[in-house]
Amino acid sequence: MSDAKLREQICTFSRSLFERGLTPGSSGNVSVRLEDGGYLMTPTDSSLGFLDPARLSRLDRDGRLISGDKPTKEVPLHTALYDTRDGSGAVVHLHSIHSVAISMLPEIDPASVLPPMTAYYVMKLGHTALVPYYRPGDEAVAGAIRGLAGRYSSVLLANHGPVVAGTTLSAAVYAMEELEETARLYLMLRGLNPRMLTQAQVDDLVRHFDLQMPDDAEGHDHNSLV
């Protein structure tokens, strides 16, 4: 895909996320990895609803700004996922309200923050890890991401928001949307003891769709909600 088309795609998807209330104000950031190993990223303090394609931040493979506005302060967060998650072509970080709420609940399992509530959550995300709280922009968060060793395509930053990597920008956005909807379902059903997918049903999805699941999250009992 050409540079111009990638820029337009970033702005189109970002505007859609903003207009549907998935990340308010100037929160959230989006990046795409380029064929030369560099990146296109949304600028710092910019609203995802009002991006200018020409002003997106163009970084080289070492994270140095080549052109455009100053990039998001979450550059280390993005590059840590690219470096550890093979095949990642895009990363999306939002402050979507239901996912943020999940990250603050005491019963959350850091190895798998949401149970297998729907087939599409399992198919698009598998498991989501919880990363401890770090100040926004703190480079230490990159170390926490690297510590997951690429096992997860999605993580929740405690008291902050979700981050999802995908092979393409559209894949990352769709997976992010599935994460937020599953978080919303969890909060709606919390305390009602709903039926989750059984381990046999999850195993069937893994086999049928050739899914990769984090080893240390497999086998958890997710068939009840606190």
In this structure, the chain runs to a length of 226
Closest CA to 39 of 13, 71, 85: 71
Query: Which of 39, 82, 120, 134 does the annotation list as catalytic?
Result: 120
Backbone angles phi, psi at 206, to 5 degrees: -60, -45
> Which residues are paired to 155 by β-bridges?
129, 163
- Secondary structure (3-state) at 101: helix
Backbone angles phi, psi at 6, to 5 degrees: -60, -40
Q: What share of the chain is helix, strand, coil (3-state, %, to 5)?
A: 40, 15, 45
Whether 32 contacts 58, CB under 8 Å: no
120 has catalytic annotation: yes
26-53 as b/e, with b when 16 or more CB fall inside 10 Å? bbbbbbbbbeeebbbbbbbebbbbebeb
CA distance 147 to 129: 11
The catalytic residues are: 120
